[in-house]
Amino acid sequence: MEGSEELESSLLTQPWASVCFGESAFLAKAWFRDTGYILLISDLSSVWYESADAEAVGQRTKELNKRLTVQVSSFLHRLRNLMCLLLAGQPDTATSFSCHHAAGGLSLHVKSEISGLPIYWAFHCCPAPVEMVSRHLVRPLIRMSLVLQYQVQKLASLLLQKDAEIEDYRESGATLSRAALAARR
């Protein structure tokens, strides 16, 4: 699909957000443009995604909303707003989301309204390719783990240095008390 690489590159810049659908917890992130979207969602056992261009969105909009006539870019804008609120932990109160495991995939159903008319949407997610999972989950987690490991080593080294300074004070005859240590802070 033309533009899907661009959408996925933009998705890399988006943070993961924790979302719940019923009793199920997920991590999700999404990127929307006037010409399509990409959604990545995981329950930390599996990772699914859907990427759709304007043509696919237009077709599905007609199938799910027979009484609604809306420009695809406007519908995508509405979907983006609904998903942004969900990912920010502030879902629109007039909107409901439900999640269903389908054969080999995951469907995320959205029910909301535009100008008092009900609208429906379904994200039909399929298993994400290994490279996508690696790019969006595994590599960032490994990098973060390495950064945290480096910070722990640095803090441990700093503690050893402070312990050596305290021992040096003691050996030079200084008497340290908690009050003296607290006053130095």
pLDDT at 69 over 90: no
Residue 2's pLDDT is: 45
Residue 1's pLDDT is: 43
pLDDT at 22 over 50: yes
Contact 86, 79 (CB under 8 A): no
Q: In whole angstroms, what is the distance from residue 91 CA to residue 94 CA? A: 9
Residue 60's pLDDT is: 95
What is the mean pLDDT of the segment spanning 143-147? 92
* Mean pLDDT for all residues in the chain: 88
Residue 171's pLDDT is: 85
Taking the domains of the chain in order of start, what are their residue ranges? 4-128, 135-184
pTM of the model: 0.77
Residue 44 Cα distances to 33, 41, 111, 137, angstroms = 27, 9, 25, 10
Residue 145's pLDDT is: 92
What is the mean pLDDT of the segment spanning 144-163? 93
Q: Does the domain at residues 4-128 carry the CATH identifier 2.170.210.10?
A: yes
Residue linked to tokens 């490994």? 142
Quick one: which of 112, 128, 129 has its CA closest to 120? 112
The C-alpha angle 88, 38, 81, rounded to 5 degrees, equals: 40
Residue linked to tokens 């700093």? 158
Per-residue model confidence as pLDDT tens digits over 71-109 = 899 999 999 999 999 999 888 788 999 999 877 899 999
What is the mean pLDDT of the segment spanning 58-69? 90
pLDDT at 182 over 60: no
